[in-house]
Structure 1
């Protein structure tokens, strides 16, 4: 099987789309597939990281326009996230056509809020089957499989947006998690039986453009954390506020380490008693491991998923970055009592079991 992924990362987009595609690509490679990536060179892209995982990654220029040789409607209606593409859909399709024409993949996997059925249709002759990974349900697609891994999503959200023949995989049971999360699930859940708050993990995504991490550390100074508590902060190498966060960490009342580009995130989550984390794709990792979570929404498109988790009793939702100074201390005070940690863990573990990649691979193989 030959599979091509079209996904981007940037300071604006974040890293989640590329990271979940990498998870799928590694699983497909383990089953014998050959995988390629096509990414635009936005500031904050992950092209080098993808290549470090031994995948061939083709880059699209972030500034120079291409002469379109793929026909799309001349007046393109704007999608809510059109600016994320860095080019018109017609141009992007033209550039991808030149690459896909040589590769002719069995599957094209698209994980991009700025692409829709027009782009997919324009490139139809260059791939056999199409998988779309989405979170928004706000635009049409012409795919064979549509995957939305957000808690609370159902087939009804997409039924009017995809062909009748499309298989819709909706809900967190299809979350694309690396295999180590399912492997560590049992151990992580067992250590939640007698919760204590001794290890606090902060993870606000690979970019954290709003510097929510710095706001969290400042707010924690007045929180009732135990004297023997330790704090771990995980950030991406390209996070613009990495240096300032490191400076704050050095002055915290509790031992605080700042970790960059960690490769053992499942282990670190398993060892944490509480996570302060961003809404988004890492939510399902935390649920799989049953880790109690205080959640911060970093982008408007994260709100529906965050609110669905709140309704399920899986998280404490404290709002957006500007809400952190006021709301975080109260949330920490409540959770430091212990019983609330147990209840969050109990609800979270029912959301996701970590086997979503296996379920998707089965659908792709049968397709």
Structure 2
């Protein structure tokens, strides 16, 4: 019988679409692992059924305000969720600013395993696994100290960015952004209540034209009056409404202007420099930290940047003065989380284990460790160097198709000091490393091209 995963998330004009979008990315990967995914919301959302998942609805709580909601509202929502579920499920995943340990303790009546996806920290949780793909600067790893139970597994940082699986594939095909940028993407997410898209378009009028300007609005409801006329006034501009995925437009871009949230990690994954305007104070921490580390450009809060502010930033972009995104996100974050939500049950010691030679697209596997930007830069430089040094080969360890570690191998064998830990994707993790090291050999002789054979029984290296 397929495991059942119940997801509780919401979307709407007030809270945006970010929670639901990232849960749909996770849901698709859980379904690929054989799960039946049921998404519980306070209103029907066609995106859920379009993705092939069941959508159950619960009543909106009248006093559901604040972060978190009052205890009575949380309990009412949890009990409505339990009633709609109609019985026990294997896992409950909650991604909601209004719900905390009160809701989580109540839903344990129907699930032995509860998972939270969070951004805020500071709330007590009653979960077995907590995921936060954000980075708030050095010390981010300690944000949940004292708020989760003993033994709760933490998956923290951009390595676990909850992006749609398409991003992992598109990243392999991405090329460096042109400088100066020729193609611009303007997108402020599923909603744009402050009308920031209009401000950017006004800043573009009368400027030297981009070859292409893609303006993406999340829904017809978010299409402000007069916006279509503004788009028509910008040479090379075209308007898209309610795209199924932003990924293809983002891949085509040399520069993106938009909101923070999950879009930050989407842009970094596809190596697109960005001008970021934060639409909510709770999202400013991540953008501020990235900007202070020299990893992105923070324009400011919505309503504060203005036409002149965007024009000044566009001038900087034309001069090639904006920072390039670091190699922190490879697009496999949601897959890593899916493995942790539903751990693999191997049929044998070699099940799911694969070794292959690394390519440039694998830099995040080596780089996205810890929370020190200087360490990321150093790791990225070393990784790039190792790919071209004749006497060094970098091997990627994959578990169930997910890149999990990079091993630096020389003629003398694996460089133990360079070995990154393998993610705890399943209960085999503790025994995998020794198995991997036993299989690495360097079949080299004088005059033969330097190469590595990464051998798994019945499978040669790439």
- Same fold flag (TM > 0.5): yes
Preserved CA contact (<8 Å) 1:152 1:171: no
State the TM-score, normalized to the length of structure 2.
Answer: 0.69
SS in 2 for 1:183: helix
Partner of 1:68: none
Number of positions where the alignment pairs a residue of Structure 1 with one of Structure 2: 339
SS in 2 for 1:258: strand
SS in 1 for 2:146: coil
Preserved CA contact (<8 Å) 1:209 1:239: no
The 5 A counterparts of 1:135-214 are 135-152=119-136, 154-188=140-174, 190-192=175-177, 194-214=178-198
SS in 1 for 2:257: strand
Partner of 2:15: 13
- Bigger-Rg structure (1/2): 2
CA distance, structure 2, for counterparts of residue 64 and residue 307 of structure 1: 34
Partner of 2:69: 82
Tell whether 2:271 aligns with 1:290: yes
Preserved CA contact (<8 Å) 2:199 2:307: yes
Q: Which moved more, 1:257-266 or 1:10-19?
A: 257-266
Partner of 1:359: 336
Shift of 1:358: 2.2
Where relative contact order (Cα < 8 A, 6+ residues apart) is larger, the structure is: 1
Partner of 1:93: 78
Preserved CA contact (<8 Å) 1:275 1:293: yes
Preserved CA contact (<8 Å) 1:206 1:238: no
Shift of 1:33: 0.7
Could you give the per-residue CA deviations for residues 160-183 of structure 1, whole angstroms, max 9, x where no partner exists?
Answer: 110011001111110011122111
State the TM-score, normalized to the length of structure 1.
Answer: 0.86
Equivalent of residue 51 in structure 1, options 44, 49, 52? 49
Partner of 2:27: 25
Partner of 1:219: 203
CA distance, structure 2, for counterparts of residue 117 and residue 6 of structure 1: 14
CA distance, structure 2, for counterparts of residue 136 and residue 234 of structure 1: 27
CA distance, structure 2, for counterparts of residue 263 and residue 60 of structure 1: 25
SS in 2 for 1:162: coil
CA distance, structure 2, for counterparts of residue 227 and residue 95 of structure 1: 53
Shift of 1:228: 4.8
Cα-Cα RMSD: 2.2
